[in-house]
Structure 1
Amino acid sequence: MSSLNDVRFFATAPHECSYLDGQEATTLFADPDIKIEQDDYQQLTLIGFRRSGRYFYRPQCDGCQACISVRIPVNTFRWSRRFKRTLKRTADVTCEWKLPYIDDEIYVLYSHYINARHREGDMYPPSAEQFRTFLMIEGPNTRFACYRDGQGKLIAVSVVDVLPDHGLSAVYTFFEPQLDHLSLGQMAILRQIQAAQARGMDYLYLGYWIRDCAKMNYKTDYAPLEMLIGRQWARFERQS
């Protein structure tokens, strides 16, 4: 594919919103039968699209603009005491970046996570086919960041898309739910910030933030963020 001008876009029928009670949602998505190249993926990201499996999508709801794309400008990120404590607590956790794969070890971790954290969501119950459809269908330059404890046990995996010379896009993270004391979800974001910095990149994209959705509140912990308001990225400082 040579240009986004060649891509057809479709909209779903209105459906129940997954994030706000009593709201209807409509999703705009790129034709899944057209291959999206790296440069085009980057351009889609800049205008608020996300990837899930082979689908590139963006909310497009009548009368609602609650879903706001957010990204961390990694070179101005503030390493608070809380974040430093998390990194210290997980100092013995190693990370290896790999091409997407599935085996018994990784699938058991994924199923434990879904069963413990997302029994009310669309991904429950977990299945190997669901894993492949959601996480194994690669976007351009997709990697699994695999985290292991000091004994070599796999405890977390981040699915990350690498945008050329620009940034990382955090697609999904799953981890051992019994290790809450390690704050593995937070650790994964912090490690991705470090990875983007090490690659000389500017941003880590975190997907959508919704002010009135409690499970998305954590994203503002990483302020200063940049938020896509209309067609412009604007700086956001968390209020103390």
Structure 2
Amino acid sequence: MRHTLPIAPQFYVTAPQPCPYLEGRMERKLFTALQGDGADQLNNSLSQQGFRRSQNVLYRPSCADCAACLSARIEVAAFEPKKNQKRTRRRNRHLQRRATSPWATDEQYDLFRTYLDARHADGGMADMDVFEFAAMIEETPIRSRVVEYTDTETGALTAVSLTDVLDDGLSMVYSFYDPDQPQNSLGTYMILDHIEIAREAGLPYVYLGYWVPGSPKMGYKAKFSGLEVYLRGTWHKVADPSTFRAETHPLSTEPIAEQVANIHLPDRRASRG
């Protein structure tokens, strides 16, 4: 089904499929193409409204009777590392960060496959081959970087994040790492390091994707101070994650047409100067 605003872009809705986060629920996504001269402006604007990027598509959960998925970001100025997060940084002092253009390598793919086989063998990306992986990394119409973390002692590639650079922050599109180092909390470390990158660049936010209250897969995101979630059209500070509940009531979501009508698009005339 197609839904159109007075000006481009056009928005579509995916067919329902089983939710990967809440058992017995069905997920549906609202999405639009990310292309043309206004791709950067559109990505910036929609990211601030809870959308995420996957290659040349921007999407946001739009389930028929559930609003459990909340877009999450960290306010850099409000972040204060906890004791265990400080220990995580110290444990990974042997890693060297390198940010490059979005170009896929065999070494990245080998690490990606090792990570998927150990952590997400039954997930939606489990069958991704090297060409699909390259497309995930390289098909980006906006300003993106591959942030690699290499072990200075062994020279081994240990962790990777595909990261978009937004006007107001960094968006961690997809991350993967060596699953045989659980003691190093590499996923947490990459988020901590991205907070530092954003701080150094003067960017106020680090976008983490979606947080689902009550979902063990997403619980790590609630452990960061300075967390904000996008809820009912605005960003809310999360002082106490336990006060948030997954909204699964049949009336918890607006009709698709109303959702689309409430999306704010960038003024392309203004961006042209």
Structure 1-normalised TM-score? 0.93
Question: How far apart in 2 are the matches of 1:160 and 1:45?
Answer: 13
Measure, in 1, the Cα distance between the counterparts of 2:176 and 2:46: 25
For 1:1-240, list aligned pairs within 5 A. Answer: 5-31=7-33, 37-151=39-153, 152-164=155-167, 166-238=168-240
Q: Deviations over 1:78-107 (max 9, x none)?
A: 111111111111112110100112222111
Task: Report the secondary structure of 1:95's partner residue.
Answer: strand
Distance 1:43 1:187 in 2: 28
Aligned partner of 2:246 in structure 1 is none
Question: Which of the pair has more CA radius of gyration?
Answer: 2
Q: State the secondary structure of the residue aligned to 1:84.
A: helix
Higher RCO structure, 1 or 2 (CA under 8 Å, sep 6+): 2
Q: Partners of 1:204 and 1:59 in 2: how far apart?
A: 20
**In the alignment, is the contact (CA less than 8 A) between 1:4 and 1:40 conserved in 2?**
no
Shift of 1:228: 0.8
**Aligned equivalents of 1:17 and 1:56: distance in 2?**
19
C-alpha displacement at 1:62, in angstroms? 1.6
Displacement of 1:130: 2.0
Structure 1 residues 4 and 81 mapped into 2: Cα distance closer, same or farther (>3 Å)?
Answer: farther
Gap change, CA 1:161 and 1:32, over 3 Å in 2: closer
> SS state of the match for residue 111, structure 1?
helix
Distance 1:96 1:221, change over 3 A: same
Deviation at 1:15, TM superposition (A): 1.9
Deviations 1:144-190 (A, max 9, x none): 110011232211101100002x1000111111111112111111000
Q: CA deviation at 1:17?
A: 1.5
Amino acid of the residue matched to residue 233 of structure 1? W
Kindly tell me: are residues 148 and 111 of structure 1, through their superposed partners in 2, closer, same or farther at Cα, counting changes over 3 Å?
Answer: same
Work out whether residues 159 and 170 of structure 1, in 8 Å CA contact, stay in contact via their aligned partners in 2: yes
Q: What is the TM-score of this pair, normalised by structure 2? A: 0.82
* 8 Å CA contact 1:86, 1:182 repeated in 2: yes
